[in-house]
Chains A and B, each alone.
Chain A
Amino acid sequence: MAFTPKDAVLFDLYTSLAERLASAARSAVELVAAPVETRRELAKRIGNIESEADELLGKIVRRIDDMFVTPYDRGDLQDLANSLDDAMDAIEEATDVAVLHRVVDFPPLASDLVETVRRCAELTASSMPRLKNLKDLEHFYIEVDRLEDEGDRIHRRITAQLYDGSVDAMTILRVIGTIDQFEESLDHMAKVARVIRTIALKEN
């Protein structure tokens, strides 16, 4: 029962941005599973999605800046958009680096890690329409938190396997950039959930 007007266009922009994130994550899953020669094409696709996301971010920032009456705290809205964009950038960097560094074989657990990223991104995209009413988001907070923890554990196991002495240093260096960025994208999605939670705490 709030009396502050809610701008529909702004909420649609957030949902679109989160959907781009999910779509980039799905392509990242494909890329990790794909043979080396098709990876360049997939990385290019993710690069395009990232450019679209940048445009959306620009629209969101301008719209928040233009609005005199914002639905929620101006700073929180800004943080939310930035965190979504950070998550996107991390996925894009992970895949671009994989191609640039000419990674041949990903460690076996890399597919688990990128799968976690995809689940988290899809959950974020499907929850974003609820930013408008801030209802039924409990599951989203808990699940993102859980996925981030899971991603951390997988990341640690991957590095442990890489450092166990059987992999040569050059291979480790090639692959670690990608692995780290996937893990990073989960951290940014956790930040997204935290910001939404902060907004929900202040409102309603």
Chain B
Amino acid sequence: MGDAYLLVSIIIVVALIFDYTNGFHDAANAIATSVEAKALRPKQALALAAIGNLVGAFISEGVAKTVGSGIIDVSASVSGLYVVLAGVFGAIAWNMITWWFGIPSSSSHALIGGLVGAALASSEVVHWDGVIQKVLIPMIISPVLGFSLAFGLTALLQYIFRNAKRAVVGRYFRGAQICSATAMSVGHGLQDAQKTMGVMTLALVTGGFHSGDSIPTWVKISAALAIAAGTYAGGWRIMKTLGKRMVHIDQLRGVASETVASSILFVLAINFKAPISTTHTITSAIIGSGATRGRKAVSWTVVSKILMAWVITVPMAATSAALMVGFIKFLGLN
């Protein structure tokens, strides 16, 4: 029991750190455009993003349940806990490698890949149906939808407002931007905090501290707080560099891409219980929105990077987790 207690604690702490860094990294996704358009001051935007994360984390349990019980099934035992641990550490290791070498990745995909790889390497059950239907298919569909819907919505809005006066419409669009940025933050919390909840619940169930697929309230609260804190802390740093790196995006495109991306995050999390990459979704929506200007407006490098991340993240994180399993066996821990 002592071993199980220790292992569960380690997994929970690591999952929360993972969650915190996720907020830290992705804070800018939601609020950058509204700050750039001066719809919000940076401090307000960050507070809004953190609160949005917090709210989003409590909206539904679907994604948490998918991650917690829909991907792999491990025996409730200490060796089962080592599998979860290897999965999480495998994902983190792959994230570190990609970060170090500047390879684009998705922490969500890495997490799923890690869990699958660890389960495979230790002959535990992998729910392939769940992996394919709730992970692989949505992973491909979400950026495609993001691109095409944002393209359509941008073209439509540009047509509707083609003769509009900036002095009149600009004010409403600033309001709309605050709404769409809030929706993005809620979608971010909804998607990414739940992934952490899923891992924590998986560890609790495997360690025998919890049963069934419901998510304990304290798990929800701690995951929500971790991502919100990460967002609040990381936003500052990211917003400084953002101005230089990201393409300039106007108000109309900001609203269009955020509306589309947040809708996709919502629908896939609530209706399909699918964990998808928030970064890929918003990036593809921004690209789709920019593509209304023409072919050259699309950054094909970014597109190819996303495509590459699709293909390699899951298998590489799985391999990395499998190596973790081997390492744990080598140490004779399980």
Contacts and interface: CB of A to CB of B under 8 A. Distances in A.
A202 B296 contact: yes
Contact of B165 (A66, A73, A203): A66
A204 B159 contact: no
Contact of B294 (A1, A65, A66): A1
A100 interface: no
B158 interface: yes
Contact of A4 (B165, B173, B293, B295): B293
Secondary structure type dominating chain B contacts: helix
Contact of B155 (A3, A68, A203): A3
A201 interface: yes
Contact of A68 (B151, B164, B294): B164
A68 B292 contact: no
Contacts of B162: 5, 7, 69
Interface in B277-334: 292-297
Contacts of B251: 68
Given A2-B292, A4-B292, A204-B295, A68 B159 contact: no
A32 B173 CA distance: 54
A69 B165 CA distance: 9
A66 B165 CA distance: 5
B296 A4 contact: no
Interface residues of A, number: 18
Given A68-B252, A69-B161, A2 B293 contact: yes
Interface string A157-185: 00000000000000000000000000000
Nearest to B151: A3
Report which residue of A7, A66, A69, A204 has the largest number of chain B beta carbons within 10 angstroms of its beta carbon. A69
B296 A5 contact: no
Interface string A70-89: 10011000000000000000
Nearest to B157: A69
B167 interface: yes
Interface extent on B, as a size class?
20 to 34
B43 interface: no
A68 B166 contact: yes
A73 B248 contact: yes
B246 interface: no
A59 to B, nearest CB: 15
B42 interface: no
Contacts of B166: 65-68
Interface string B136-174: 000000000000000100110011011011110110010
A66 B166 CA distance: 5
Contacts of B158: 3-5, 69
Contacts of B295: 1, 204
A8 to B, nearest CB: 11
Contacts of A65: 166
A5 B158 CA distance: 7
A162 B13 CA distance: 80
A73 B158 CA distance: 14
A84 B251 CA distance: 28
Contact of A204 (B155, B167, B294): B294
Contacts of B164: 67-69
Given A1-B294, A3-B154, A66 B159 contact: no
B252 A2 contact: no
A203 B170 contact: no
A120 B289 CA distance: 37
B297 A202 contact: yes
A66 B151 CA distance: 24
Contact of A203 (B167, B250, B294): B294
A134 to B, nearest CB: 9
A201 B161 contact: no
Contacts of A4: 158, 292-293
Contacts of B292: 2-4
Interface string B238-277: 0000000000101110000000000000000000000000
Interface string B33-46: 00000000000000
A129 B24 CA distance: 48
A1 B295 CA distance: 8
Contacts of B296: 201-204
Closest 9 interchain pairs by CB?
Answer: A3-B292, A3-B155, A5-B162, A2-B294, A68-B164, A204-B294, A68-B166, A68-B169, A204-B296
27 contacts: A1-B294, A2-B292, A3-B158, A4-B158, A4-B292, A4-B293, A5-B159, A66-B166, A67-B164, A67-B166, A68-B161, A68-B164, A68-B170, A68-B173, A68-B251, A69-B158, A69-B161, A69-B162, A69-B164, A70-B250, A73-B248, A202-B293, A202-B297, A203-B293, A203-B296, A204-B294, A204-B295
Given A4-B292, A5-B162, A202-B297, 14 more contacts: A3-B151, A3-B154, A3-B293, A5-B158, A66-B166, A67-B164, A67-B165, A68-B161, A68-B164, A68-B165, A68-B251, A69-B158, A69-B161, A69-B252
